[in-house]
Structures are given as C-alpha cells and as structure tokens.
Amino acid sequence: MRSTYSVLVENNPGVLARVAGLFSRRGYNIDSLSVSRTDDPTVSRMTIVVEGEKVVLEQVTKQLRKLVDVIRVRDITDEPHVDRELVLIKVNADSGTRGDIMQIVEIFRGRIVDVGEYTSIVEVTGDEGKINAIENALKPFGIIELVRTGKVAMQRGTRTVLVED
C-alpha cells in the first residue's frame, strides 16, 4: 500500500531529521519527501509518500503525532487531492534531435529551460504518471541527468490538513 501524508510541523532546525528518523527506525523507505515553509513562517508542510502495510503505517502515523514539533498529520491517500511533481531532465540534444525533443516537450506542456551545444534541460510539472511518461519519451535521446522534487499534494475543496473530520 502506498500512502501520501500531509504533515504540518514547527519550522525548527532538526525537525526533518526527527521525522525521517522515525520512518528509518520503523524500517520504511520514504518514497518521496518534500518540505517547505508555509504562508506562516513558523510552520512548514511536508508531503511524505511511503509504501508499506496499512497496519504498520497507522503506527507510524501515531508515532508522528507524538513528535513535539509535529502540529498535524493527515493521510490524504484516499481523499480527493491534487498532487504534482517537478522534474528537470538534461538530455542529449544536438542540432539533429533538438526539434524532436521540442515537440515532445510541447506535448507534455513542459519547457526547455537551458540549451547547450549538445544538451538541453527540460522542465515539466505534473502528476507521477506524466513525469514517468516524459522520462520514457526522452530516454531514446539519452538522459544525462534527472532530478525530481518529489510529490506535493493538497486536498481538494474546503478540506485542509488543519481541519480534523
């Protein structure tokens, strides 16, 4: 089972290490983790994607709630939400292939953010499926380097991580 958590934490040094350490101690690999300050500079928001059995992930959720710096934890996996990732892909692109790459990038509504003599860097945002699809489309040209931000997610409508059901 793959779960997506929205976690609000105090914006203090070491919070990320404590949260990551909790998952590590339980033996669960974090599939994706993104964290940044919210509109309130004293609060940060984490989006954590973890794969594991439901029973154990529920224990991890309970343990997260016990951490002093954690304000709120919400598993939004089964709730309506929007999620996105950003990827930068450096791909081989000479004068013979650059046009084909530009067409692929346009199909995925991405952008070419850097052009070198033999390379281009492509930027695309979207859900995991879209990111995987453009990665596969660019593989034949030769991907030199790739970096993904990890998933960020937000519940749809009036639901928020702050409001308990």
pTM flag (> 0.95)? no
Q: Which helix (H) or strand (E) holds 123?
A: strand 119-126
User: Which pLDDT tens digit goes with each residue over 8-26?
Assistant: 999 999 999 999 998 888 8
pLDDT, tens digit, 9 for 90 and up, residues 52-85: 888 888 888 899 999 999 999 999 999 999 999 9
pLDDT digits (tens, 9 = 90+) for 36-56: 999 999 999 999 999 888 888
Question: Topology of domain 82-152, per CATH?
Answer: Alpha-Beta Plaits (3.30.70)
**From the candidate CATH numbers 1.10.490.10, 3.10.20.30, 3.30.70.260, 1.10.10.10, the one assigned to the domain spanning 2-75:** 3.30.70.260
145: its two tokens: 């380097």
pLDDT at 86 over 90: yes
Q: Is 83 exposed, middle or buried (0-12, 13-18, 19+ CB in 10 A)?
A: middle
